[in-house]
């Protein structure tokens, strides 16, 4: 039916556009003139909790290596919201076939969009580094804090949202903040109590390719200068659907998945695991926990209002002044932060080895960085046995988003010839990607003994076949 000018005006009143370098434009809902006090995506975006993400950078230390990579968690969250909505609308027909009790299309679209917008709302300064070197002391992750923020601080906005960019929900449907919080956390044994359709939707946030990593791979590639041509999101989305087995990829989409995985691996190898990025992270490890203990001395999960003010801008402004503190601890930390902010790289790479994924597929087992450090020291001459060194193994990065640690995952692949769906090991798809994925590096305070360190490191790695070793 043809719309009247008044009806068109109503659409425009309830919608707005965001200019974005990846998607060109992304829409979001805003209150209509006669909205009667409705809540929309704009209310969530403008909340202090989401605006706080403007002050947390997406690429922690890597932005000190790539000058243009100054984008924030805020930009990424908006992009993930858009990506989640696109996947939601595409997947709804197949989801409806598998789960006839699923709510309306517009409801599912908005549930995914809100989860996409808020999936990183619990992040602290320096992103995953904050998890691994501060929150771990409280047994928390940013996802734990995110769930608390969603339910306790944003719940009253979420449960008053009544439409998606595509239109209103079905009568009686209400967004549940607990369902949003459910989508953004990793699965556990308690999930069986949740509706099947909700469990399936969470695979969009915790699978091999997700609305989260599909956005950050494109965004990080763009902002660091990598080409986006190697990522074909449209093809990957087109060949993705739900079956009884869960999120499934048609065999015709495997090539698009391979291209995405290759792009992701290249970002890890060249950006996230860049030698200078890792060197800066080694320095950051030495001071971060003590720093955050002074800035945030209590459990952030117990006082969210205090956590609201904890971002990278505040961290920078505080540590900058510590150099003038009468407290020796603050003064020492302030000096170290000053070196980082001046990009004085403390740790210099003395040895590097890259090991191909083939070794992982053959079942190679690697010791921890501490064990390798002991082995290397045992091979050094007596005068150098106590030389300050650091062993860094990038593949052992504990973050769940690390693709180098997920070769045992499986992807449901639909074979059109047989009509069957089977869970294929992700390592079989990685097999066709010529990527070196294990980054083993030895760092020292200077380059005075690089040759000796290299020989010792090579002896420690003698059990690993096929390593490509570089002394830089």
Strand partners, 18: 26
Quickly name the fold that domain 40-225+274-346 has: Hypothetical protein af1432 (1.10.3210)
Residue 312: other Cβ atoms inside 10 A: 18
pTM above 0.85, yes or no: yes
Question: Sheet harboring 468-470: ordered strands across?
Answer: 389-393, 436-444, 348-356, 468-470
Domain residue spans of the chain: 40-225+274-346
- Closest to 218 measured CA to CA, from 80, 110, 126, 112: 80
* pLDDT value of position 398: 40
* pLDDT value of position 5: 63
- Closest to 230 measured CA to CA, from 222, 241, 238: 222
Residue 371: other Cβ atoms inside 10 A: 12
In order along the chain (472 residues), what is the average pLDDT of each group of 10 residues? 59 88 95 79 98 96 93 97 98 98 98 98 94 94 96 97 95 96 80 89 93 95 81 95 96 92 85 92 96 95 96 96 96 96 94 70 62 91 93 63 60 91 78 64 95 93 55 42
- Closest to 276 measured CA to CA, from 454, 448, 472, 126: 472
Residues 138-151: pLDDT tens digits? 999 999 999 999 99
* pLDDT value of position 456: 94
User: Percentage helix, strand, coil, to 5, in the chain?
Assistant: 55, 15, 30
Residues 119-132: pLDDT tens digits? 999 999 999 899 99
Torsion angle defined by CA atoms of residues 383, 385, 386 and 387, in that order, rounded to the nearest 10 degrees: 80
Query: Rounded to an integer, what distance in angstroms lies between the CA atom of residue 71 and that of residue 268?
Result: 17
């Amino acid at each position: 039916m043809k719309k009247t000018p008044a009806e068109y005006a109503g659409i425009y009143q309830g919608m707005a556009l965001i200019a974005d370098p990846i998607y060109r434009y992304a829409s979001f809902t805003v209150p209509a003139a006669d909205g009667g006090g409705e809540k929309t995506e704009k209310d969530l975006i403008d909340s202090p909790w989401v605006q706080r993400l403007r002050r947390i950078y997406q690429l922690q230390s890597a932005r000190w290596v790539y000058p243009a990579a100054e984008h924030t968690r805020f930009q990424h969250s908006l992009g993930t919201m858009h990506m989640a909505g696109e996947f939601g609308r595409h997947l709804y027909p197949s989801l409806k076939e598998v789960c006839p009790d699923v709510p309306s299309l517009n409801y599912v679209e908005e549930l995914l969009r809100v989860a996409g917008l808020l999936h990183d709302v619990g992040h602290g300064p320096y992103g995953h580094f904050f998890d691994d070197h501060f929150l771990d002391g409280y047994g928390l992750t940013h996802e734990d804090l995110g769930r608390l923020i969603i339910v306790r601080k944003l719940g009253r906005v979420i449960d008053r949202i009544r439409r998606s960019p595509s239109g209103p929900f079905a009568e009686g449907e209400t967004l549940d903040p607990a369902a949003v919080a459910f989508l953004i956390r990793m699965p556990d044994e308690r999930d069986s109590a949740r509706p099947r359709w909700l469990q399936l939707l969470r695979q969009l946030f915790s699978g091999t390719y997700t609305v989260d990593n599909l956005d950050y791979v494109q965004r990080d590639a763009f902002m660091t200068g990598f080409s986006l041509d190697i990522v074909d999101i449209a093809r990957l989305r087109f060949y993705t659907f739900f079956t009884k087995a869960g999120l499934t990829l048609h065999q015709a989409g495997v090539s698009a998945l391979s291209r995405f995985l290759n792009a992701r691996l290249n970002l890890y190898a060249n950006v996230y695991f860049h030698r200078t990025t890792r060197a800066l992270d080694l320095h950051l490890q030495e001071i971060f926990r003590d720093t955050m203990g002074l800035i945030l001395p209590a459990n952030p999960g117990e006082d969210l209002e205090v956590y609201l003010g904890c971002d990278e801008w505040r961290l920078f402004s505080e540590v900058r002044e510590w150099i003038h503190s009468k407290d020796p601890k603050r003064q020492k930390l302030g000096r170290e932060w000053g070196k980082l902010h001046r990009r004085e790289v403390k740790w210099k790479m003395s040895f590097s080895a890259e090991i191909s994924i083939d070794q992982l597929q053959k079942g190679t087992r690697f010791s921890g960085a501490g064990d390798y450090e002991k082995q290397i020291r045992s091979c050094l001459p007596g005068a150098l046995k106590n030389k300050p060194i650091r062993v860094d193994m990038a593949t052992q990065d504990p973050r769940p988003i690390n693709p180098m640690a997920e070769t045992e995952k499986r992807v449901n692949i639909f074979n059109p010839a047989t009509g069957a769906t089977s869970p294929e090991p992700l390592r079989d798809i990685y097999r066709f990607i010529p990527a070196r994925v294990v980054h083993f590096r030895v760092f020292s305070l200077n380059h005075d003994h690089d040759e000796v360190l290299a020989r010792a490191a090579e002896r420690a790695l003698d059990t690993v076949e096929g390593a490509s070793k570089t002394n830089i």
